[in-house]
């Protein structure tokens, strides 16, 4: 699962007074469940620890790997022991459609959903971070005339060499059309047509012989580092981590970056519903979202959070104004309807 690949790479969190515990949650407790690793460590510092200090509520932290069936089983058995769960888009939508997650009352969260970036506030889940699919290059290898647009990813004449792309139709189809000149607001309409799909594959054909296909999030920065490719698509946090912690001179090209989200959801039937709402209200405040970006290079979902982020941190986030002038707002609802068919067609194209 993509989130597991993306987030479960960091130091393990230590159990603290507001951290991991083995006792079952009591009325004064709240159980918060996320993906572990560096991602949950950031949430611990930005959300859990200050929330516990401010409210006196004991937060028990647990980790999972996105097991929606486990949440559903709790709800169906009327034995809910998780109060707030970090979920991806597909889980958020499925949980709402199936009545597994509470439909949120944003007045209790204290935030206007219109102040979140598009798709950042859903009926049953409130956004917590923005991360993005981008492409990057090594400035030690490309020292002059660097690529700056999504079209440059496809320009083998100016920048010869291998490219690393995810082995999936997801985002690749949109990028292919954008690189071929389709306006941003027409991409999904084009992909509704056979002509548009054929056009996307035709653009991908122009670089197919030079593509190294990756399937795990750690691969793109490694392929760049090893010099096997000159450009690589991947998740912004991976390239940032390689630059910050491994000394790599990777440069992210933000043009047409594909926004994606994680959300907080409340399993329906929790006996601590009001406490869960208090946590959502605390963590959704712009100041607190800005705090989270201090610990991990993902952007806040609330538009008002940008003003609270220091410039030296903001410059590396997907939501920085200078990075988000031409964003691909990935239409996850569209992909929910079309993913199965397009992935089959993509696999057939790869096999040709």
Regarding whether 145 and 98 lie in a shared domain, the answer is no
How far apart (Å, rounded) are the C-alpha atoms in residues 31 and 21?
Answer: 10
Domain span including residue 165: 132-259+326-351
- Structural domain contains residue 319: no
Regarding whether 265 and 339 lie in a shared domain, the answer is no
Regarding whether 252 and 272 lie in a shared domain, the answer is no
Reading phi first (left if > 0) and then psi (alpha if -120 to 50, else beta), residue 189 is in: alpha
Q: Taking 50 as the threshold, does the pLDDT of residue 17 lie above it?
A: no
- Structural domain contains residue 96: yes
Write the CB contacts of 101 (distance below 8 Å, at least 6 apart in sequence). Answer: 92, 95, 124, 125, 265, 266, 267, 268
Quote the pLDDT of residue 26: 52
- Structural domain contains residue 182: yes
Q: Taking 80 as the threshold, does the pLDDT of residue 8 lie above it?
A: no
Quote the pLDDT of residue 39: 87
pLDDT band at 218 (very low <50, low <70, confident <90, very high): confident
pLDDT band at 18 (very low <50, low <70, confident <90, very high): very low
Regarding whether 155 and 126 lie in a shared domain, the answer is no
- Structural domain contains residue 141: yes
Q: Taking 70 as the threshold, does the pLDDT of residue 307 lie above it?
A: yes
Quote the pLDDT of residue 285: 97
pLDDT band at 244 (very low <50, low <70, confident <90, very high): confident
The CATH number of whichever domain residue 67 belongs to comes to: 3.40.190.10
The total domain count for the chain is 2
How far apart (Å, rounded) are the C-alpha atoms in residues 338 and 192?
Answer: 9
Quote the pLDDT of residue 90: 86
Q: Taking 90 as the threshold, does the pLDDT of residue 205 lie above it?
A: yes
Regarding whether 192 and 97 lie in a shared domain, the answer is no
- Structural domain contains residue 321: no
Quote the pLDDT of residue 2: 37
Regarding whether 105 and 12 lie in a shared domain, the answer is yes
How confident is the model over 312-335, as pLDDT tens digits?
999 999 989 899 999 999 998 899
Say what angle helices 172-179 and 332-351 make with each other, to 10 degrees: 80
Regarding whether 136 and 120 lie in a shared domain, the answer is no
Regarding whether 93 and 146 lie in a shared domain, the answer is no
How confident is the model over 34-87, as pLDDT tens digits?
998 878 999 999 999 999 999 999 999 999 988 999 999 999 999 999 999 999
Percent of the chain with pLDDT over 70: 92
Q: Taking 50 as the threshold, does the pLDDT of residue 16 lie above it?
A: no
How far apart (Å, rounded) are the C-alpha atoms in residues 197 and 190?
Answer: 7
pLDDT band at 171 (very low <50, low <70, confident <90, very high): very high
Regarding whether 230 and 336 lie in a shared domain, the answer is yes
Regarding whether 332 and 192 lie in a shared domain, the answer is yes
- Structural domain contains residue 320: no
How confident is the model over 115-158, as pLDDT tens digits?
999 899 999 999 999 999 999 999 999 999 999 999 999 999 99
Quote the pLDDT of residue 238: 87
Regarding whether 194 and 333 lie in a shared domain, the answer is yes
Regarding whether 345 and 203 lie in a shared domain, the answer is yes
- Structural domain contains residue 189: yes
- Structural domain contains residue 273: yes
Quote the pLDDT of residue 151: 98
Quote the pLDDT of residue 299: 93
């Amino acid at each position: 699962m993509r989130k597991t690949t993306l987030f479960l790479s960091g130091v393990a969190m230590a159990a603290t007074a507001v951290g991991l515990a083995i006792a079952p949650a009591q009325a004064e407790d709240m159980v918060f469940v996320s993906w572990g690793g560096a991602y949950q460590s950031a949430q611990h510092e930005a959300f859990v620890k200050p929330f516990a200090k401010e409210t006196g509520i004991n937060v028990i932290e647990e980790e999972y790997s996105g097991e929606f069936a486990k949440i559903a089983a709790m709800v169906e058995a009327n034995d809910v022991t998780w109060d707030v769960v970090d979920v991806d888009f597909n889980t958020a939508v499925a949980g709402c459609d199936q009545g597994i997650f509470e439909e949120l009352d944003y007045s209790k969260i204290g935030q206007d959903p219109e102040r979140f970036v598009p798709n950042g506030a859903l009926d049953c889940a409130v956004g917590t971070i923005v991360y993005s699919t981008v492409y990057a290059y090594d400035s030690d290898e490309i020292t002059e005339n660097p690529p700056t647009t999504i079209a440059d990813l496809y320009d083998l004449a100016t920048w010869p060499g291998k490219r690393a792309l995810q082995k999936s139709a997801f985002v690749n189809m949109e990028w292919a059309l954008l690189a071929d000149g389709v306006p941003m607001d027409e991409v999904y309409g084009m992909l509704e047509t056979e002509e548009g799909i054929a056009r996307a594959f035709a653009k991908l054909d122009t670089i197919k012989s030079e593509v190294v296909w990756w399937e795990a999030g750690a691969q793109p920065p490694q392929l760049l580092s090893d010099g096997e490719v000159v450009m690589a698509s991947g998740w912004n946090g991976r390239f940032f981590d390689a630059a910050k912690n491994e000394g790599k001179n990777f440069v992210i090209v933000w043009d047409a970056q594909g926004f994606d989200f994680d959300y907080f959801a409340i399993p329906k039937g929790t006996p601590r519903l009001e406490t869960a709402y208090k946590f959502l209200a605390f963590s959704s405040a712009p100041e607190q979202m800005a705090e989270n970006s201090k610990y991990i290079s993902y952007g806040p979902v609330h538009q008002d959070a940008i003003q609270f982020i220091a410039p030296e941190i903001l410059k590396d986030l997907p939501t920085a104004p200078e990075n988000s002038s031409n964003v691909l707002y990935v239409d996850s609802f569209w992909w929910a309807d079309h993913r199965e068919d397009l992935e089959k067609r993509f696999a057939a194209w790869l096999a040709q």
